[in-house]
């Protein structure tokens, strides 16, 4: 019996390459789809995606599967990058990868794949899913170091139903070994970093091409000016590097950290204490939490959460909900909770959902 047609989102990296290979080995009807989502930035006269699509072509030739290429750059600009710029303009620090998964990889890409006759789509995310009673659960990857459920926190039941994560049960080193054994060109390719679909960029130069930076004062917590910043949106809470502060009279040689951003006055507030009280909070609010199950739990609700990707899970309580504004308290103080980032909720290895951090107190 002929198996379903599955279209794999292939990026030119090792993870999506192996995802396609594993599905082909299971005798699904597999096709690949490469998304061109960023065409504005040119590096050395070459579009940033050109090397990746060449690698994708070689992988597909090796696996003997068709490769489709679609330009979703307009969707990416309208639904992801505009929001990215708006958040930075407001002094917040966004995470475009989460929105990219919600709006591009599991929406625009999914719709395109369905038009090609696909029953489901697959990606190279390190994550898993499970059907529990009448709904799907998003689970952490077997590889805790590579788990990407954080970036998938805004998926809904319909998107999860149509999604497959073929490498979620594998560790990264195993994925590379499988790719090498199969002779895939991507087996030792460096993992992609930087902004989703934009890639690695000199961040200040890149952001300055879209938002005009306005210099302002860097002040200590007692209001003393000690330097000048290059544009307040370049900096994030807890940041140590790139402040350009040195040789301040009557201070120690200890490093300085961003502890507050005064957007109205265009001032960056810094202190020499890595654990300054202004960097530690137990409470935050978030707007419009996406609950993957489709149901809001009864509040107050105890679970675990992380406020940034690499953070370990922290005990918290979702206290109340007022007009889709959720109030969250942690059992212990958290360092550098950053508005614009996502807080993602967990129960053991189940990702419950997440929302954008709106305010901290």
Both tokens of residue 27? 């005798």
In terms of residues, how long is the chain? 361
Rg (C-alpha) for the chain, rounded Å, is 22
Tell me whether the omega of the peptide bond preceding residue 300 falls within 30 degrees of 0, making it cis: yes
Residue whose structure tokens are 């788990």: 147
CB crowding 11-36: b at 16 or more within 10 Å, else e: bbbbbbbbbbbbbbeeebbbbbbbbb
CA dist 153 and 295 (Å) reads 14
Both tokens of residue 52? 């990746």
E-assigned strand segments in 214-324: 216-220, 225-229, 257-262, 267-271, 280-291, 301-306, 314-322
Strand partners, 31: 7
Is residue 100 among the annotated active site residues?
Answer: yes
For residues 229 and 268, is the Cβ–Cβ distance under 8 A? yes
For residues 136 and 161, is the Cβ–Cβ distance under 8 A? yes
Task: Give Cα separations from 118 to 4, 18, 51 (angstroms).
Answer: 7, 19, 26
Burial of 354 (0-12, 13-18, 19+ CB in 10 A): buried
CA dist 299 and 91 (Å) reads 31
Choose the catalytic residue: 196, 303, 307, 351: 196
Q: Residue 316's closest CA among 307, 328, 324, 308?
A: 328
Is residue 154 among the annotated active site residues?
Answer: no
CA atoms within 13 A on the CB side of 39: 11
Catalytic residues, by residue number, are 100, 196
């Amino acid at each position: 019996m002929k198996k379903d047609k599955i279209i794999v989102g292939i990026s030119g990296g090792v993870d999506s390459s192996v995802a396609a290979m594993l599905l082909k080995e299971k005798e699904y009807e597999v096709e690949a789809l490469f998304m061109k989502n960023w065409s504005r930035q040119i590096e050395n006269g070459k579009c940033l995606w050109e090397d990746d699509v060449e690698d994708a072509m070689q992988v597909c030739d090796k696996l003997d599967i068709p490769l489709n290429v679609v330009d979703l750059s307009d969707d990416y600009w309208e639904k992801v990058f505009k929001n990215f710029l708006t958040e930075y303009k407001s002094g917040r620090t966004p995470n475009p990868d989460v929105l990219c998964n919600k709006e591009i990889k599991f929406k625009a890409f999914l719709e395109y794949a369905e038009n090609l006759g696909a029953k489901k789509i697959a990606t190279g995310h390190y994550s898993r899913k499970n059907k529990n009673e009448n709904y799907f659960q998003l689970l952490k990857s077997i590889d805790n170091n590579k788990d990407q459920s954080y970036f998938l926190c805004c998926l809904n039941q319909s998107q999860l139903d149509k999604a497959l994560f073929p490498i979620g049960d594998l560790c990264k080193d195993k994925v590379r070994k499988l790719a090498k054994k199969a002779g895939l060109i991507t087996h030792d390719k460096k993992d992609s970093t930087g902004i989703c679909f934009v890639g690695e960029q000199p961040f200040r130069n890149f952001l300055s091409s879209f938002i005009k930076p306005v210099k302002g004062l860097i002040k200590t917590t007692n209001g003393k000016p000690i330097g000048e910043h290059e544009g307040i949106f370049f900096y994030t809470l807890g940041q140590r590097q790139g402040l350009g502060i040195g040789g301040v009279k009557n201070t120690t040689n200890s490093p300085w950290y961003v502890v507050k951003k005064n957007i109205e006055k265009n001032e960056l507030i810094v202190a020499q204490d890595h654990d300054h009280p202004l960097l530690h909070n137990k409470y935050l609010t978030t707007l419009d939490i996406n609950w993957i199950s489709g149901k809001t739990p009864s509040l107050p609700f105890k679970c675990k959460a992380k406020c940034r990707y690499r953070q370990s899970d922290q005990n918290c309580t979702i206290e109340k909900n007022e007009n889709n504004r959720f109030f969250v308290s942690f059992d212990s103080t958290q360092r550098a909770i950053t508005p614009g980032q996502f807080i993602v909720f967990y129960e053991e290895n189940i990702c419950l959902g997440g929302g954008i951090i709106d305010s901290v107190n």
